[in-house]
Chains A and B, each alone.
Chain A
Amino acid sequence: MTAELVRGQNHPLPEARLEIRVSAGTPIVAGATLGDEHGKVHGVEWVAHPGAPTLPGLEVSKQAAADHRLAVDLDALAPSVHRVTVLLALPTTTGGPARFGAVAAPFLAVTGLDGTEVATYTITGLQTETAVVALELYRRQGAWKVRAVGQGYAGGLAELLTDQDLPEARQLAAGIHEAVAHGLARSVAAPPPRVPDAERPRQTPAPALGPDQTHGTGTAPQGAPPHLVGQHAGTAPHDPSADTQPTAPMAGGPVNYTHPGRQTTAPPPPPPTAPPAEPGRPAQPVAGDATGWSMDERLYNQVWGMFEDLARTTAAYRSAVDFAESRMEQELDRVLSDPRSRISGQGDAAREAARAKHAQLVDQARAALDRDLAQLRAEADVVEPALPTAYARWDNPVWHGYQVPMEVPMALRLGDLHLPESDGLRIPMLVRLPLERGLWIDASRSGSGDSFADPGELRRLALDTAVALAARLLAVYPPGEFSVHVLDPAGAGATALAPLTQPGVLAGPPAVGAAGVADVLGRLTQRVDLVQMAVRGGAADALPPGFDTAEQLLIVNDFPHGFDDRAVTQLRYLADEGPAVGVHLMMVADRQDAVAYGPLLDPLWRSLLRLTPTPDDHLADPWVGHAWTYEPSLVPPGSRVLQQVLTQVADARRSWNR
């Protein structure tokens, strides 16, 4: 018989081995603290959380997820433990809900190992809280009981842990969020749905963003140690359902009555179809044969499909080669340890056989990989020329026929991705627009795989990359919908910035000196404040007349030159709050230059998507977590395409302003 607990109620626990199921409908963090007979938590080693998921008798997930299954074995807990406190928290990453009041009431069920529910508890009445003590399991006269607590904390995990008398509460809370952000942030982005299964009301699992989805055979990549976090900033974690159902009503927001399956009134034109394949041969690839409502969406989905296929076929190849190698080593060891092999030529023959088996399997794996690569290459050959400007490389002829667009495209190409095995095959790296997080063009030497000796050269390359990206953004947005500001305090980037400054596509000349920095940051900060207030107050039309509704991009060169403490604080504020209200950062920086600020800036770097001016393998895919080499999309040397495009953009801006 299941007991449905209300706040404060307790219930005896019949078994020692329990599972606590949590469902919240949105990714949340689950953890647990252990207390002694006075409820005191003695230190960080008494806390199970995503960064340290296993304690004796207790295991929590390493990942923020909409559903959790926490395993508890009360008999295996240390005898000094008298209390297990189960806590939930919202991840602090951008894009997620900011308070429990905005999500469905979290539901918890304490179950036996056979799945029978002992007690359930729905935490209702949460508002601004971002962390909550959900349940307490406690020892009373030798027997264990569960109590529904439901105590929320508006100050989040740090406040919750402080309340438990943990001296290191603040650091621990930061560490937990870091572990969660790391699990989520290393992935490039959530993939688009490949096969939407709308017919059946299936239980979908938590978004498969992090590396911690596999339990069992250990073939899945494990999370890298936390010190790598800064090196591996990826795009913002976001709920894939936001992609699939842009019109889904948000909890707490206004109800949207549009039908999620009917986005346009007219049916989309049929996708191009492939000519029938010759028997025994794969079908000829066709650009845009993925699903979607428009050609742009189809190509976007197709590129993501190619990205996933390349990730997976490479995973198949790597696992086959790994297996062949470990099997050969085992067989060679066996030959070595077998005394019979020392006499006569038996040992040599066995060694030869082991090597031959290895070579055969590797050859087979290579053949399968080559077959798949050939297919993907053929697909890339038809897809690349068909791409619209926003998805196309600068050397694509489509840029020569550039026309100022009337609407914002679905996505933007940030560069190319490839793997060591992919052998010339480049996957366009497409991110959705509007940008979900800022960009960081890493000008440090660690940001480049090869040994560019000259740091000045690297800085110039980084700024070139930034200019190419900013130009691309300006070109793909309709006039008046995208403004670019530049901070160049020492004027060091004047030459590299010339393609933007000369045609006059910037919102104003690059800001110089500390006063210029303070002025631009002040205006953008004020803008974020205004829009936030208007959105929160539900009065979007109350913005001052003449308010520039365009999205804003701030390019920061030479950071932290010319920045005082106030400016740094404003910059961090823009990085945190900006993307939600259309203010984006593009830092062109070497992290070492700002090392004096210490860990204060870690969250800033982590919130940005790190790109490199030279090829560097630091981006992970969301499926298997390969390290992909990123290469920026630069204008070919000697090409005038950038100037031509930006001249057109500048003309359009002028006539639009008139």
Chain B
Amino acid sequence: MILLRLVRLLVVLLVVTFLSYVLLNLLPGDPTTQILGLSASEEARAQLRAELSLDQPLTVRYLGWLGGLVTGDLGTSYITSVPVAEALAERLPVTLELLVAAQLIALGLAVPVGVAAARRAGRTLDQVLTTLSFGLLSTPVFVLGVVLILIFAVKLQVLPATGWTPISLDLGWNLTSVLLPAVTLGCGQMAVYARLLRTDLIATLQEDYITLARARGLSPRRILWRHALRPSAISLVTAVGLNLGALIGGTVIIETLFGLPGVGRLIVDSIFSRDYLTVQGGVVLISVGYVLVNFAVDLVYAAVDPRIRHA
């Protein structure tokens, strides 16, 4: 069972890396023009092409690059002369911290909101919460970020608008600098999760075993948290995994907006500086990370749902 999943994971990883590599290589435009500019001489171009192995067939280049990927070598940026893997490794902790903080905020808010709404489905509180989360869901992350900066950094001046303090330097300042970006990123996710949990809980609450739990005289609170939440949490876990893609897309914007030195910002900066290898490395890192996290979610899923665990 687990072996089959591992095989599938490997296939997906191969395809994902191949597509990332090939698509970015097949795109129109000569990378040498992009790197050297239009005025470069033909000799310089040829030299660069040989340097980048662009004169070899695509599959050969891919395999060579994949071999490097496995050993942690993504090439060296010819713009900054920094090894791509090193640059990414340096930026990764920032992005990870942002992602984890955003997920924690999103889940921490979504569970009580979803439960409160489901418990009083159709009543005023539910309608207010549902409307609010629908509004949040429809707010692009950069719009929310701009509004939050305007309120907390410009008007109230309680939180920094931009900047980053590494966790190793000062925990307090680190948390202060991650708070606003994480809230911005987490809010939209919160709405997604809360809506999902609400719908799922409402369905679960109509199950016979819930009616029977009520027939046994258990309190609504107990029924919600102990009987209904766990089956419903299963769909939530899946959503957390699937939404990671959206969340990662969000980090690119958040890091740019708040000036955080993460992977997303590195990718954007590299795009503008035409640092082609770094962009590729970043995209592959994110894609592979996303696939791996979803694989982990599948495993968690099995742990939460005994029906799957024993199947």
Bind each other: no
- Give the interface of A toward B (CB within 8 A): none
